[in-house]
Amino acid sequence: MSQSYDLQLAYALGKPQAQAGFKQQTSDFIVRERLGFEPSGEGEHVYVQVRKTAANTAWVGENIARYLDIKEFDVTYAGRKDRHAVTTQWFSCRLPGKQEPDWAGFDVAGVEILGHSRHQKKLRRGEHAGNEFEIRLRQVQGHDLEARLEKIRLQGFPNYFGEQRFGRQGSNLLAADALFSGQVVRREQRDLCLSAVRSYMFNQDLAAQILAGAYADQCVAEFQWQLPADDRAAEAGRKRGRSRDRENTQTRGRDAAVTPESIPRGWLYGLSRQENPALQSLEQRFPDWCQGLARLALKAQQRDLWVRPAALTWRFEESDLLLSFGLPAGSFATSLLREIVDYGER
């Protein structure tokens, strides 16, 4: 394996010519996690909803464990949320036989307790339904934005893993190289680097298919006739000249993203009981990684290659572009943004 990795990927709509600033302020990136279910109100796990500003998810979990005087592994969450953002998410805390915590004394900078409830099961990674985003792109310069946004609204975008999955300058991939060569890797980084190599291979395979012309027309046709009823109504309203803002109030709470059964799926490398040409192709292209993953007995998994955002709306405030949309769990907002503008993250 090379000691440097190209994280550049093919664009579904061609590289955007417009430019914009991203995450210039913490409030430019707002994320709200949707569990997809309501805690039952009873059980040995306390679910606590937190709004954090400029705070790391794992760090918040550590502070919750410290406050409750329990082990860190007894505090779990569905997914890591961006540090440089305002994010709302749930944590579960295992407290069998203990009284309800008094959250009034929890005082951590940048962290606010919004609510809490009991539940029978702990919160596991990827168990939430999805996330809702409100994003401000600043000082947008360029053209063709409306056309790109309309295509993404109808067609969707490649379901790439975001660059943050790979660490700074691919550091998680380099850690995987070290792990598979027999070197010692910190326990907390082990899962990150295993996830990174599987994600990298998925991205490369999807990018190759896009470069070969796959999905260019197929997904447009599928999504246009499979729009949910409320989206069809909103589409008819737009044709009659109604405001796009209305769609936001009509559709804002429904499950994020439409993923019809006909949407193709790709593979996250792992062991499979049956012969699989796609996995065999990855073994030929990434032999060291695949051998390392096989030794660890990871099972192959599938992931949608394409995703359409739910309730995608947009408006301009002078030179800033404000976006609102929902995505299913595991999909990255940055993979949508890169199809719209060439953004500079700060």
Q: Does the annotation mark 217 as catalytic?
A: no
Cα 224 to Cα 290: distance, rounded to the nearest angstrom: 38
Range list of β-strands (E), the chain: 19-22, 29-34, 45-53, 75-77, 86-94, 111-119, 130-141, 157-158, 265-268, 301-304, 306-307, 310-317, 320-328, 342-345
> What is the token pair recorded at 102?
């008094």
Determine how β-strand 320-328 pairs with β-strand 310-317. Answer: antiparallel
Determine how β-strand 19-22 pairs with β-strand 342-345. Answer: parallel
> What is the token pair recorded at 140?
């947008």
Residue pair 175/185 in contact by the 8 Å Cβ criterion: yes
What are the φ and ψ backbone dihedral angles of 101, each rounded to 5 degrees? -65, 150
Q: Residues 84, 121, 125, 292: is their CA dihedral positive or negative?
A: positive
Residue pair 340/13 in contact by the 8 Å Cβ criterion: no
Closest CA to 266 of 297, 308, 306: 306
Active-site entry in 28, 82, 177, 304: 82
Residue pair 137/20 in contact by the 8 Å Cβ criterion: yes
Residues belonging to the active site:
82
